[in-house]
A = this chain, B = another copy of it.
Amino acid sequence: MALMRKSLDVFFRPESVAVVGASPKREKLGYAVIENLIRMGYQGKIYPVNPNYPEIQGLKAYPSVKELPEPADVGVILVPAEASVEVLKELVEIGVMHVVIVTGGFGELDEEGLKRQQEIVEISKKTGVRIIGPNTTGIVSTPGRFSTTFTRGYIRPGSVAYVAQTGIFGGLVSSLISTREYFGISRIIGLGNKVDVDDADALEYLENDPETKVIIMHIEGLKDGRRFMEVARRVSRKKPILALKSGRTPAGAKASYSHTASLAANDAIVDAAFKQAGVIRVNDYVDLVNYAKVFAYQKPPRGNRVGIASISGGLGVMTADACENVGLEIARLSDETIRRLREASPHIIEIGNPYDIWPSISKVGVNTAYKIGIDAMMEDQNVEAILAGFGPAEGFELENPSLISDASKKNPDKPIVAYATGDWQLVERTREALEKLSIPVYYSPENAAQALAIMYQYSRIKSG
């Protein structure tokens, strides 16, 4: 490469943005992009560009890129594919060196689109302009209150960065997280056709991004596997990387080829490469979200010995199965812990791990039973992580969830995950209460155990 590649940083906190193809018509993408910027409370200057309107959504509009009052930090291209190469050239001419090309109709569409895409690649290489896209929703940066996306809906700020391959799916997953989860998002980077900025670049940026604690990715095709591996290996020592690599079966790969013309790698090789690079692979976006959650809320354990508090004997058995099944060990509780748990339970009950908390609830009530149970396990040196089960029912709800989160805060290196089942309204209420206190809640012991196992897997990745 002839030129020193510019940092991506400006994409995430630009002081000004030119939106080429801005529109006053509600059904247009160029309307939604401006609307999202205003709704997010973007503090920089917005320059709508459109030759047909003097004003768009209350903002002065400019007839062309050349007439902009300054080279904006970021340019967003929303005009049709045929016009976009020209617009890109004009942006670079006036000095805009960070551009998001939202427009589709390039390499993913046909021969002609591919030619246009190659022109863009050339411009980027020759001038050093950094380009995200084309064919993408682009960037969301909650700390920068900045977005180039046309997807509507509030994105909650938080510590999870999402590197997305495709537009519609990326938008759906962001929407899923924002409307269903209590954790938030730091950055979304929608890579689209990756003419310039690719997965490795995104990881490199996120490596030192102080707003990001966890990285989740959806990858359909990698252009430069070797570089991705190099960067991922370095970044994964600092922050967990969870990746959904689709096109993993012959059928999926075939679908991927007709969809993005990206050639599939042999999936066994991808698998081995991810392992070597410390990338945690998942096969389902629901898992991607579920496991992002555990990293957003808790720290990895030092070992794999789990203390289990279950809401019934039967669920204790299932939880033990679930833990063993994913390589976790059932901790041998210390005598002191047994003593404390016995004190909180009716005298006839045998105490062990899994610890059936129900008899204790019947003796000392829900709040006290969980407090004693979880405190005892947190203070037990034989226990390195806790899996707590809840079965909320009328009259048996946890009234003071901070009793649990207090113990968790005092022992940050002992992660605690929970599951809840039963009456759905009460389950969701329990989830909200606990997750707002950073205790992740799943719907079954299996899911909770998997989340713990992935944290344990990461603690080994981190230590090399």
Asked if A285 and B325 sit within 8 Å, CB to CB, the answer is no
Contact sample, A vs B, 24 pairs, CB 8 Å cutoff: A108-B313, A166-B313, A167-B312, A168-B358, A168-B391, A172-B315, A172-B391, A172-B422, A176-B422, A244-B318, A250-B324, A251-B320, A251-B321, A255-B313, A255-B317, A255-B319, A255-B320, A256-B317, A259-B314, A259-B316, A260-B313, A283-B321, A286-B443, A286-B447
Q: Of all chain B residues, which has the CB nearest A356? A: B259
Q: Give the shortest distance, in Å, between A347 (CB) and chain B (any CB).
A: 11
Partner of A247, one of B312, B321, B393: B321
Cβ < 8 Å to B, chain A residues 249-286: 249-252, 254-256, 258-260, 283-286
Q: Of all chain B residues, which has the CB nearest A321? A: B252
Tell me if A352 is interfacial: C-beta within 8 Å of chain B. Answer: yes
Q: Of all chain B residues, which has the CB nearest A283? A: B446
Q: Is the interface of A mostly helix, strand, loop or mixed?
A: helix
Q: From known contacts A169-B314, A286-B444, infer whether A252 and B324 are also in contact, taking CB-CB under 8 Å.
A: yes
Q: Of all chain B residues, which has the CB nearest A153? A: B423
Provide the bound-state CA to CA distance between A322 and B447, in Å.
19
Asked if A352 and B258 sit within 8 Å, CB to CB, the answer is yes
7 tightest CB-CB pairs across the interface, nearest first? Answer: A252-B321, A259-B313, A168-B312, A166-B314, A249-B324, A169-B314, A251-B324
Q: Give the shortest distance, in Å, between A452 (CB) and chain B (any CB).
A: 14
Q: Give the shortest distance, in Å, between A118 (CB) and chain B (any CB).
A: 19
Cβ < 8 Å to B, chain A residues 154-195: 165-173, 175-176, 179-180
Provide the bound-state CA to CA distance between A354 and B322, in Å.
34
- Give every chain B residue within 8 A of A176 (Cβ-Cβ): 421-424, 427
Q: 1/0 per position for A408-439, CB-CB distance to B under 8 A? A: 00000000000001111101000000000000
Tell me if A220 is interfacial: C-beta within 8 Å of chain B. Answer: yes
Asked if A251 and B323 sit within 8 Å, CB to CB, the answer is yes
Asked if A325 and B283 sit within 8 Å, CB to CB, the answer is yes
Asked if B314 and A350 sit within 8 Å, CB to CB, the answer is no
Tell me if A239 is interfacial: C-beta within 8 Å of chain B. Answer: no
- Give every chain B residue within 8 A of A324 (Cβ-Cβ): 249-252
Q: Of all chain B residues, which has the CB nearest A256? A: B317
Asked if A179 and B425 sit within 8 Å, CB to CB, the answer is yes
- Give every chain B residue within 8 A of A444 (Cβ-Cβ): 284-286
Q: From known contacts A172-B421, A249-B325, infer whether A314 and B109 are also in contact, taking CB-CB under 8 Å.
A: no
Q: From known contacts A168-B312, A252-B318, A259-B356, infer whether A152 and B394 are also in contact, taking CB-CB under 8 Å.
A: yes
Provide the bound-state CA to CA distance between A5 and B417, in Å.
48
Provide the bound-state CA to CA distance between A3 and B260, in Å.
71
Asked if B179 and A424 sit within 8 Å, CB to CB, the answer is yes
- Give every chain B residue within 8 A of A313 (Cβ-Cβ): 108, 166, 168, 255, 259-260
- Give every chain B residue within 8 A of A244 (Cβ-Cβ): 318
Tell me if A330 is interfacial: C-beta within 8 Å of chain B. Answer: yes
- Give every chain B residue within 8 A of A260 (Cβ-Cβ): 313
Tell me if A248 is interfacial: C-beta within 8 Å of chain B. Answer: yes
Q: Give the shortest distance, in Å, between A216 (CB) and chain B (any CB).
A: 15
Tell me if A398 is interfacial: C-beta within 8 Å of chain B. Answer: no
Q: Give the shortest distance, in Å, between A356 (CB) and chain B (any CB).
A: 7
Asked if B255 and A316 sit within 8 Å, CB to CB, the answer is yes
Tell me if A2 is interfacial: C-beta within 8 Å of chain B. Answer: no
Q: Of all chain B residues, which has the CB nearest A354? A: B255
Tell me if A246 is interfacial: C-beta within 8 Å of chain B. Answer: yes
- Give every chain B residue within 8 A of A354 (Cβ-Cβ): 255
Tell me if A145 is interfacial: C-beta within 8 Å of chain B. Answer: no
- Give every chain B residue within 8 A of A152 (Cβ-Cβ): 393-394
- Give every chain B residue within 8 A of A165 (Cβ-Cβ): 314
Provide the bound-state CA to CA distance between A380 and B180, in Å.
37
Tell me if A4 is interfacial: C-beta within 8 Å of chain B. Answer: no
Q: Give the shortest distance, in Å, between A460 (CB) and chain B (any CB).
A: 21
Q: Give the shortest distance, in Å, between A185 (CB) and chain B (any CB).
A: 15
Provide the bound-state CA to CA distance between A259 and B316, in Å.
9
Tell me if A348 is interfacial: C-beta within 8 Å of chain B. Answer: yes
Provide the bound-state CA to CA distance between A27 and B180, in Å.
36
Asked if A320 and B254 sit within 8 Å, CB to CB, the answer is yes
Q: Give the shortest distance, in Å, between A126 (CB) and chain B (any CB).
A: 30
Q: Give the shortest distance, in Å, between A167 (CB) and chain B (any CB).
A: 8
